[in-house]
Structure 1
Amino acid sequence: MDIVKSKAFVYVCVTVWCGLSVIYMNKDSFKQPFVNISQSRLFTFLHRWPNTTNSDATSGPLYLKEETLRKGAKYNVSTFADANTSYIYLKQNATYHQGDLILVQIDLYDAQGTRKKTGGDFLRVWMEDPKTSTSVSGQVSDHNNGSYSAAIIAVWAGHGRIRAFIATRREEIVYYYKIYEQYTSLWPAYADFRKKGSNLTGQSTCSITVPGDETAGHWCNFTLENNGFPWYCLKPSNKQLACHMWTYSFSGLSFTFKLNSSEDSVTRWSSKDPQPDILQRFVDVSIATADTASTLPLNQVACNKLPPYITWQRKSPNGFFHQDKWHSLLCHDTLPRTIDAYRQCLKGRTLWLHGDSTSDQFKRSLHSILRFQSHANGHMPVTDTDWVYGFSVSFQPHEFPFYHGKSHYPRSSNQAQHIMLDRLPNTTKDIVVLYMYVHFTLVHPDVFRRHVRRLVPSAKNLLARASHVTLAVRGPHAFFRSSKGLLSYWGLHYADIWHQEFASLRDKIVYLDFWDLTTAKTHYDFHPLMKTVHEMVHHMMSLLCHRK
């Protein structure tokens, strides 16, 4: 390679690094072992890893800006990005060493084979070796011209296959944002009313907003009962039914508003089989090892001694799967995967798992591991206690907007998480995991921010008065597809909101980052497979148990 070509090559490499929004480091940096790192050096060491923070303007946003969403988009299925015609290819050679950074590029084309000229499509990239049940997520960057770059760490030796998935198209995101602004919510919510002592019943629709002052008198205001968050339901058409006769809540599982044929085709993408949206083309790489280890050595700092602020650093990848077990790159898991270890961790405490059905999955996982009886009943709040070993695990669905589905739940089922924080005594030794996500993907992101922001003063107050409490925030997880409108695309945006609103508490609260874990281990539904939930739960326990 002559001097001119060498300079051009260097320029392209630097540009790619900036575009990926990662902190530059040379390859030797990745080859350094994850052993014998003291806590005093840990912060500096972790800053050498790629960072998900999108700080460079040349790379484009990780998610679409609001001004872009407001402009709208044309809903022509023939011009959508197509996995059959799109390409993924290596930026370098196909042979690497363990610890190297692997760079790939994805160029999107539509079904007619025409190159896409705009960004905004949401891609996920991962590398896997099914033979050893090994996988790791890649960090994707949008170049705003139809091309995307991804960086992947070669964390194991052997074979790796790099796959890309068109998770959400630009047109979907823009259309759903339009619905947020026009209809407030993607799915309908309902209230049951019943007059006591009679068979008189009625139903009405509910919303986080009242659609116009002229109809304000026709709505029941349940904001106070929703712990200060807006919640309104239309007054029943039967005048004998009053607002205080609200008894149950339920919801639809899809859209109720009218769609034209183009809009309907857009909304179907979020619930169709994801397999056709995994690029047919893939990249195979060979990874050599510098020693006898099959994977990178792990960090020797115990997870329960990892400073909380490190868990908020958003280094990617923060771990990988090997033989179907999750291995954190941030810390060393010293918690045995045994019943006794979990019981000792929880003894004399309650583990609070507020949230939605994915929080209930955590609770069910713990019951299967700890082998004590569960009294769970859908979205009903429940606290189960193991009286022999002296601990409890509690689940309660968060406040509205909460979409219960076809089952009808009592009006008292939902409670804001800040209320639970405020009620804990000063002497508590409990473990509290704050979590909101899936149900909020059905409403405008500003609604999510409002609910997260309200948690901050209660969290600060609890930490100031209860010195033995352990507090954590569980971040969003990735999934392929689900019911109409449920897009994990919003997960990256919501992770940013958690980080922004809780910035003042990062040295006291642990952040449970499961995005890389659920990107490396792909899932169809927003409910991860239970074997993956077991890995999520164990990583959570390794970080939170015996933390001082």
Structure 2
Amino acid sequence: MLSIFAAVYTNWATFKEWNTYGWLTSNRDINAYGLRYLPESVVRSPTTPNHPSCAAKSQMYLKHNHTTFLLCDPIKVQINMYDVNGYRKLTGGDFLRVWMEDRKSNASVSGDVTDFNNGSYGAVIKATWAGHAIIRALINTRKEEIVLQYKIFDEYGSLWNVHATFVKNQLSETTTCSTKQPSPLTQPEWCNLTLENSGLPWYCRRPSIANLTCDTWSYSHSSGVSFKLNNTERDILQWSRKDPTPDILPVTIKVLLINEDNKTTLTPPATPCSRMPPKATWHRVSPTGFFHNNTWHPLQCTDTLPRTAAAYRKCLKGKTIWLHGDSTSAQFKQSLHSFLHFPSHGHGHMPVTDTDTTYNFSVSWRAHEMPFYHGSTRYPRIAEKAQHLVLESLPDTSSDIVVLYLYVHFTVVHPDVFRQHVRRIVPPARKLLARAPNVTLAVRGPHTFVRSSKGLSSYWGLIHTDILHQEFSSLHHRVVYLNFWDLTMARPSYGSHPDKSIIQHMVHNMMSFVCFRT
């Protein structure tokens, strides 16, 4: 399999090499920089689940001898993890969220967290508003969960099950599917449906009914886990389904943020977000923005797009905005419908393009290619379509806005699968930009979330982010990167679907970057 951990920082020489290419934030102390995610060698190694990290026993403190900071100051925090018995953890691997907030002013900002792999974690938080604030931390996903999920990816191909239903005349049979290529010894038992999946790996067990051949694949649906796990492993899989409240560290840090110029918040650069060079949108700078008075304020550029239906309609006039991907992309589409007051005709996971004939624009959504987890509802094969086919279908005269997005459904498969799918998009994207210069092309990055009733973990988004940066490196100068990691880290959502209010902030941030670029 491809190496997914090419960007993990395993020694100081590697830190310096990546920093040379701009992957690390330039104002960070490189000698204090730890891991962003676990190297594959650690993920593959067995872990003892008897003494997981315990929020109630763990400690957090400032790396400063004062609690008052000026705007723009970096606030450094250290977290030392302890287990339930009060013993100091000596290894890392937990996925921590650190953020600073002031609920009175509806303000919050994410912390940039790194793992020193010795039980200690560092976080850097920028002072972005004047006033009082509290720093909090949460154990989002424990190392034991990450290791077990990776084991399932490696052995079974997916954390969930996808099923194919083969139909011909009155005959029907349902089998299981996988992104993993079956071994040569079992290949006759499987249908290679890669071609039907737009050239991306997809294999389903061959029906036992003789008249149901591989080309009779008609429907797909999904179900939960059904793996051979011991009692401890089954318990671990439930951790990310539980109420996160006990995993918020009871220790908090109160700070005072002041500004000698009497400004309320940090002032971003004067460059409008719509004029920000695409390459600059890919820079690894944290935080990318903050909330204040219940509004997201970007720090990379100035948001000059009015938050009005008229401004959005002017941006979209004569265009289609393509929001393909998964149900979180459908949330973006629905948010636009609500804001622009025109009806949506979407039905579940079936593809839909809605047109506002009064203002002359369209909004399109459809599911990405397999692996796509439809749930218990059986969807016909036409429901999914690879995003590279969308790029290839646009005419040379197009001035559409295309937002590419793959994420949530790929958090339940090996990250190498994500890389394969991203890699397949890049050549058609390059060709589209060459032949249709008026197209605006954007890549929407992963968002983070707290727990999920379905056991998902946004930890894998850390790796997905690096893969997107690597695979699109040759197009950074032409493609806009929409970074929603810090936005969703600053204001956590429970579950993989962000809250409606968060989606509204994400949609406006997207529009401020993609509107009026051509």
Taking structure 1 as the reference length, the TM-score comes to 0.89
CA deviation after TM superposition for structure 1 residue 406, in Å: 0.9
Root mean square deviation of aligned Cα: 1.9
Aligned match of 2:5: none
Aligned match of 1:4: none
Aligned match of 1:64: 38
The SS at the match of 1:225 is helix
Mark the CA change 1:57 to 1:291 in structure 2 (over 3 Å): closer, same or farther: closer
For residues 273 and 52 of structure 1, what CA distance do their matches in structure 2 show? Answer: 37
For residues 183 and 26 of structure 2, what CA distance do their matches in structure 1 show? Answer: 41
Indicate if the aligned counterparts of 2:181 and 2:201 stay in contact, CA closer than 8 A. Answer: no
Aligned match of 1:114: 87
Q: Alpha-carbon deviations, 1:322-345, whole Å to 9, x = none?
A: 111100001111111111110010
The answer to whether structure 1 residue 87 and structure 2 residue 91 are counterparts is no
Aligned pair partner of 1:523 in 483, 493, 497: 493
For residues 241 and 55 of structure 1, what CA distance do their matches in structure 2 show? Answer: 61
Letter in structure 2 aligned against 1:305: R
The SS at the match of 1:182 is helix
The answer to whether structure 1 residue 104 and structure 2 residue 74 are counterparts is no
The SS at the match of 1:354 is coil
**Percent of aligned pairs with the same amino acid:** 56
Indicate if the aligned counterparts of 2:324 and 2:403 stay in contact, CA closer than 8 A. Answer: yes
What are the equivalent positions in structure 2 for 1:374-389 lying under 5 Å apart? 374-389=344-359
Which range is displaced more, 141-150 or 343-352? 141-150
The SS at the match of 1:527 is coil
Aligned match of 1:341: 311
Aligned pair partner of 2:427 in 436, 457, 463: 457
Aligned match of 2:460: 490
Aligned match of 1:322: 292
CA deviation after TM superposition for structure 1 residue 50, in Å: 7.8
Letter in structure 2 aligned against 1:181: D
Aligned match of 1:6: none
The SS at the match of 2:146 is helix
For residues 209 and 310 of structure 1, what CA distance do their matches in structure 2 show? Answer: 36
Letter in structure 1 aligned against 2:500: M
Indicate if the aligned counterparts of 1:396 and 1:415 stay in contact, CA closer than 8 A. Answer: yes
Indicate if the aligned counterparts of 2:57 and 2:82 stay in contact, CA closer than 8 A. Answer: yes
Aligned pair partner of 2:416 in 446, 449, 471: 446
Which range is displaced more, 420-429 or 233-242? 233-242
The SS at the match of 2:330 is helix
What are the equivalent positions in structure 2 for 1:390-401 lying under 5 Å apart? 390-401=360-371
CA deviation after TM superposition for structure 1 residue 484, in Å: 4.2
Aligned match of 2:239: 269
What are the equivalent positions in structure 2 for 1:171-186 lying under 5 Å apart? 171-186=144-159
CA deviation after TM superposition for structure 1 residue 55, in Å: 9.8
Taking structure 2 as the reference length, the TM-score comes to 0.94
For residues 214 and 390 of structure 2, what CA distance do their matches in structure 1 show? Answer: 26
Q: Which runs of 5+ in 1 are unaligned?
A: 1-17, 23-46
Letter in structure 1 aligned against 2:136: R
Q: Which runs of 5+ in 2 are unaligned?
A: 1-11, 17-21
The answer to whether structure 1 residue 292 and structure 2 residue 266 are counterparts is no
For residues 260 and 50 of structure 1, what CA distance do their matches in structure 2 show? Answer: 40
For residues 168 and 450 of structure 1, what CA distance do their matches in structure 2 show? Answer: 25
Indicate if the aligned counterparts of 1:123 and 1:165 stay in contact, CA closer than 8 A. Answer: yes
Indicate if the aligned counterparts of 2:446 and 2:461 stay in contact, CA closer than 8 A. Answer: yes
Aligned match of 1:191: 164
Mark the CA change 1:90 to 1:422 in structure 2 (over 3 Å): closer, same or farther: same
Aligned pair partner of 1:201 in 154, 159, 172: 172
Letter in structure 1 aligned against 2:49: Y
Letter in structure 2 aligned against 1:519: M
CA deviation after TM superposition for structure 1 residue 485, in Å: 4.2
For residues 216 and 198 of structure 2, what CA distance do their matches in structure 1 show? Answer: 18
Indicate if the aligned counterparts of 2:182 and 2:190 stay in contact, CA closer than 8 A. Answer: no
Letter in structure 1 aligned against 2:202: W
CA deviation after TM superposition for structure 1 residue 486, in Å: 1.5
Mark the CA change 1:192 to 1:52 in structure 2 (over 3 Å): closer, same or farther: farther
Larger-Rg structure:
1
Aligned residues: 500
Indicate if the aligned counterparts of 1:59 and 1:144 stay in contact, CA closer than 8 A. Answer: no
The SS at the match of 1:214 is coil
Q: Alpha-carbon deviations, 1:275-312, whole Å to 9, x = none?
A: 11111111111112212221112321111000111100
Indicate if the aligned counterparts of 1:54 and 1:62 stay in contact, CA closer than 8 A. Answer: no
Which range is displaced more, 236-245 or 359-368? 236-245
